[in-house]
Amino acid sequence: MRERTLNRMVERPIAAIYARLSEEDRGKVNEQDSSISIKNQIMLLRQYAERMGWDVFECYTDDDWAGADRSRPAFNRLLRDAEQGKFNIVLCKTQSRFTRELEMVEKYIHGLFPLWGIRFVGVVDNADTSVKGNKKSRQINGLVNEWYLEDMSENIKAVLSTRRQEGCYIGSTPLYGYRKDPDRKGHLIVDPEAAEVVKLIFHSFANGMGKTAIARMLNGKGIPNPTEYKRRKGIIKKAPRHKAGTLWKYFAIADILGNEMYIGNLVQGRYGSISYKTKKNKPIPKEQWIRVEHTHEPIIDKGLWNTVQKMIQERAKPFSTGEIGLFARKVRCKHCGYIMRSGKGRGRHYLNCSSRHVAKDTCIGSFIYVDKLEEIVLGEMRKINDQFLDKKRLEDEIVIQETPLENIEKWKQQCRHQRHRMDQMNTAIKNLYLDKVKGDIDVEQFQVLYRELDAEKENAKEEIRQLEQKIQKDQFQSSGLRAKREVVQEYVNPSKLNRALVEQLIDYIEVSRRDPVTKMINIEIHWNF
């Protein structure tokens, strides 16, 4: 049994205070209503703990974090300390300050906290796990809070969509080459220093210089890349992980050359959130992007823009088939961590490090032919299959399960028979009714015979229902067998890779430079399983 850092038999309970101020609270914090602020939450909770005779272990605070965000730093630190037994009470202003998710309420407040010997108390909404009969109200609160989150998320999306359609820029940081207008919210103004670099990129490309060559030129001049530029200007604070993070790359040049915001058009809504419960985003189809023309001063004139776009299309023709490369954005240089670019030479496709070409001493560079990498990945897949999968058993299972195909026709035949029975019962009931009308049988005889016929009709109907369920089940199983056979063939006995397989099975691949002595390339595959 794990040692606990707290003796549960202490005379005075020990409480951990948790306070949170989220973005949705910001507009509420004013002179008239200051109870929401972090400071006032803590004061309220300290006073409550004092009245109850509880010692306060620590105050955990998260500023500008939503109640559905599970990555809150202080929140997660509180959970770790709770598990270690550093206190026996979690004290919040309300249950919603702790979490607005019903799932999290059940997991921690009703699940893990009791196991850890922790009592949860929400002062304002009377949420208290020590009170019997209080659980349902806490669950209702959790459900209401979750509805609130969902509604708020949809409202925010609607507001942002409206602002985008009105031509307002809603990004947290301005596009490279622009600044946020201090006098007009949602409007961009030209940043002269960065704009000159954007112009240099467009003119250099129009004069025949390639994207990698442009990146190399900018790095040679000591011009910081967009991220580093914003960092130096104090717009962002996150420090680069290594030197390569400050340099211009092929993809940065490509993004600038293809961004029509530089001709004065606002293009937004390229990515959308998966759920209000996560910060992860997913790409939005291009036809759903929100595009508004002439919203801000252009840096690039329309003529130069059209020239560059035409050149990009022409340069892409010999190398593009319209398909995504087999390992596109899946292969990283082991030395610098950047995504390796594809190319073609002497009839073979290859991947090489994009960093080594843009500046001296940035990276020693990695290189591998695509067909060679495919061969290596297939070999590793076969090793895994041989180690963990019984291919013969899987294939035998499919053969054994082929019986549903044979049964479907039998069930259909029985269905037809039962439907014929129902038709007979309907005819018999109709004739029985006519006999009653004509006086051939009395009412009592009619009722007895009708109940018998109707019961037999209902039996036939129930039989048809069960048979149709069998047919549906066997048809589904049959289609599943076909799919399983394809999966076994594709995953267990792969002869060639395709993009779908790579997406499903591989997270990313790290490739090193060929060793000059052994001539070996070190490859590390990070699987999705």
341 in the same domain as 308: no
DSSP secondary structure of 354-380: SSTTTSTTS----EEEHHHHHHHHHHH
Burial class of residue 97, CB neighbours in 10 A (0-12, 13-18, 19+)? buried
203 in the same domain as 280: yes
Residue 281, SS3 per DSSP: strand
Burial class of residue 7, CB neighbours in 10 A (0-12, 13-18, 19+)? exposed
Q: Any idea what DSSP says for residue 490?
A: I
Asked if residue 523 belongs to a domain, the reply is: yes
How many whole angstroms separate alpha carbon 378 and alpha carbon 199?
A: 46
- Give the pTM: 0.45
507 in the same domain as 490: no
- CA 450 to chain centroid: 61
Q: Any idea what DSSP says for residue 513?
A: P
CATH no. for residue 30? Answer: 3.40.50.1390
426 in the same domain as 372: no
337 in the same domain as 474: no
Residue 451: how many other CB atoms lie within 10 Å: 10
Q: How many domains does the chain have?
A: 4
Domain end marker among 298, 319, 340 = 319
CATH no. for residue 268? Answer: 3.90.1750.20
The one-digit pLDDT tens for each residue of the chain (529 residues) are 344 444 444 468 999 999 988 655 544 444 444 445 788 888 889 988 988 899 999 999 988 776 556 778 899 999 999 999 999 999 998 888 888 777 788 888 888 998 899 999 988 878 888 887 666 665 666 556 555 556 555 666 666 677 778 878 888 889 999 999 999 888 999 999 999 999 999 998 888 888 888 988 998 899 999 988 998 988 887 766 665 667 888 888 989 999 999 999 888 877 766 555 555 566 777 788 888 888 899 999 998 999 888 888 766 543 444 455 788 878 888 888 778 888 888 888 888 887 766 666 677 788 899 999 998 888 888 777 765 555 555 455 444 444 555 677 788 888 888 888 888 888 887 777 777 777 788 878 778 887 888 888 888 888 888 888 777 766 655 554 454 444 445 555 667 887 767 877 788 899 988 888 888 888 998 887 6
Contact 102, 145 (CB under 8 A): yes
DSSP secondary structure of 134-199: -HHHHHHHHHHHHHHHHHHHHHHHHHHHHHHHTT----SSPPTTEEE-TTSTT-EEE-HHHHHHHH
3-class DSSP string for 53-93: CCEEEEEEEEECCCCCCCCCHHHHHHHHHHHCCCCCEEEEC
Burial class of residue 62, CB neighbours in 10 A (0-12, 13-18, 19+)? buried
Q: What are the backbone angles phi and psi of residue 188, rounded to the nearest 5°?
A: -105, 140
User: Which CA distances in Å does 189 have to 169, 177, 186, 290?
Assistant: 11, 9, 10, 20
Taking the C-alpha atoms of 381, 387, 388 and 394 in order, what is their torsion angle to the nearest 10 degrees?
A: 80
How many whole angstroms separate alpha carbon 525 and alpha carbon 507?
A: 8
Taking the C-alpha atoms of 426, 427, 428 and 430 in order, what is their torsion angle to the nearest 10 degrees?
A: 90
Domain end marker among 265, 293, 319 = 319
184 in the same domain as 302: yes
Strands annotated E in 193-252: none
437 in the same domain as 420: yes
Asked if residue 169 belongs to a domain, the reply is: no
Shortest CA distance to 98 belongs to which of 130, 82, 129, 121? Answer: 121
In which domain, by residue range, is 252 found? 178-319
Residue showing tokens 């915001």: 261
